[in-house]
Amino acid sequence: MADEPMTPIREAADLQGKMLAGVQHLRKLNEDDVQFGPTPKEAVFRNDHVVLYRYLPKTEKRLKTPLLIVYALVNRPYMVDLQEDRSLVRALLDEGIDVYLIDWGYPGPAERWLTLDDYVNDYVDSCVEYLRDHYQVPKINVLGICQGGALSLCYTALHQDKVKNLTTMVVPVDYAVEATQTTGLLNAWTQGLDVDEMVDALGNVPGDLMNFGYLMLRPFQLNLGKYLGLTDVFDDEMKLINFLRMEKWIFDSPDQAGEAFRQFIKDFYQQNKLIKGEVVLGDEKVNLQNITGPVLNIYAEQDHLVPPASSVALKRYVGTSDYTVKSFKTGHIGMYVSGKVQRDLPVTIAGWLRERE
């Protein structure tokens, strides 16, 4: 207790030192110092503005079946290869998996009319076709992340003959799960939205508008507390760069192709059609019962964006008998940046795939 009055004084001295060092670091840094995607990769296939990347393998002995990562449309996919020590891609390569990633690019006015059918049955399918042809295999492995997982579920339900093993990670499946204290706000907020009016008025939906919604999920922590925490790392150049890198990813948000956004909000969020088997892509209904191959469903126990209950619901709707569920005690973003998850997640995925190779 005698030490208590000294606490703020020590903090003051610490902060002063950190401030001075931090300002010096900030002065030296520029945008180019905030690099991401350190793992070497090459573009192997293009379809319109969509690019398929191949990460250069790191081991000789590898699984025969390549893994295609299908990321969400709402953020940039380099989150899976953020930096040297936080790279799901790198860890999967270390496990002997050939990793491919679809980069959706930044939809512009010409992409305003793209539908979910285009994303699933053209873009994803053309990448799968490229890999089947390149590897001369009938089926490939798919890892769908977040919204990309929802697209992957649709793709697998329509093309199970081309998917050997499906892994879903932090994927919303049931969009009507009951909200809890920490999750489910997005579901609630979209219910009354007139998405037709929105897309008609905006065309493509601005990424910044989406970000505004995400920031409102915890307005004080995400807009203020986070920057208060910056004082802790201000004097450490590497940590400061890591912080800035995450900031870059958070706000580097592509606009959403209008028609695809319209369908996603209406069919998935507002009408929960995915689990009802009522989503229609092209002229086919998406029936999750048609997913009969192995499924590994991974979710984050403290996910504030995708309620865990929404993810675990998948088991009730897929037709497979080979279903595995695995959770990690972290949040949505923690899946990519938590040291423990980064250590355990790739091993989990690789082990599961290896057993089914």
Partner 1 sequence: MSNSNTDSAQDLFRSAQDALLGVFRWGTERSSEAAAQGVADRILKSQEQAIQMMSAMSGLWAEMAKAQVAGPEGVRAYMEKFQREVPLMGSALPSADALQKAAEMWRESGKRFVEAMMPMSQSFGLGSAIGEGMPDGFREMFGGFAKSPGFGLTREYQAKLGQAFDAWLEYQERDVEYRKLLSKAWTDSFAAVMQAMADRATKGEAPKTPREMMQLWIDVADDTFIALFRTDAFSRTQSGLMNAMMKLRKTRRKIMEDALIASDLPTRSQLDEAHRMIYQLRKELKAVKRELKEIKRVRAVKRDLPVSEPTTTSVPSDEARGAHHGG
If one asks whether residue 13 binds partner 1 (CB under 8 A), the answer comes out as: yes
Measured over all CA atoms, what is the biggest interatomic distance in the chain, rounded to whole angstroms? 74
| Cβ 152 vs Cβ 124: under 8 Å | yes
Taking contact as CB under 8 A, which single stretch among the options 12-20, 32-40, 289-297, 346-354 is the one that binds partner 1? 12-20
When asked if residue 219 is in the footprint of partner 1 (CB under 8 A), the reply is yes
Catalytic residue check, 127: no
**Which x/- pattern, by CB under 8 A, does the window 146-175 give for partner 1?**
------------x-----------------
Dihedral pair phi/psi, residue 82, rounded to 5°: -70, -50
- Asked whether position 24 contacts partner 1 by CB under 8 A, the answer is no
Only segment of 1-9, 262-270, 293-301, 319-327 that touches partner 1 (CB under 8 A): 1-9
Q: What is the C-alpha separation between 220 and 228, in angstroms, rounded?
A: 11
How many Cα atoms occupy the beta-carbon half-sphere of 61 within 13 Å? 2
Q: Are 70 and 143 in contact (CB under 8 A)?
A: yes
Instruction: Based on the shown chain and the rule CB under 8 A, indicate whether residue 51 belongs to the binding site for partner 1.
Output: no
**By the rule CB under 8 A, 178 interacts with partner 1:** no
Helices (H), the chain: 6-28, 88-94, 116-117, 125-135, 147-158, 185-191, 195-202, 207-215, 219-220, 226-233, 237-251, 258-263, 273-276, 308-312, 314-317, 334-337, 339-355
The catalytic residue among 146, 154, 166, 171 is 146
CA distance linking residue 295 with residue 321, whole number of Å: 9
CB of 171: closest distance to partner 1 in angstroms?
A: 22
Using CB under 8 A as the binding rule, whether residue 33 contacts partner 1 is answered as no
Of 61 and 220, which has the nearer Cβ to partner 1?
Answer: 220
- Token digits of residue 165: 């093993």
Closest distance of CB 88 from partner 1, Å: 27
223 near partner 1 (CB under 8 A) = yes
User: Is 203 an interacting residue with respect to partner 1 (CB under 8 A)?
Assistant: yes
193 binds partner 1 (CB under 8 A): yes
| Residue 312 interacting with partner 1 (CB under 8 A) | no
Q: 216: which DSSP letter?
A: T
End-to-end Cα distance, the chain: 61
Rounded CA separation 235/238 (Å):
9
User: Which spans of this chain sit near partner 1 (rule: CB under 8 A)?
Assistant: 2, 4-9, 11-13, 15-16, 19, 22-23, 48, 109-114, 117-118, 121-122, 158, 179, 181, 185, 188-189, 191-194, 197-198, 200-203, 206-209, 211-212, 215-221, 223-225, 227-228, 230-231, 234, 251, 281-284
Q: Catalytic amino acids? A: 146
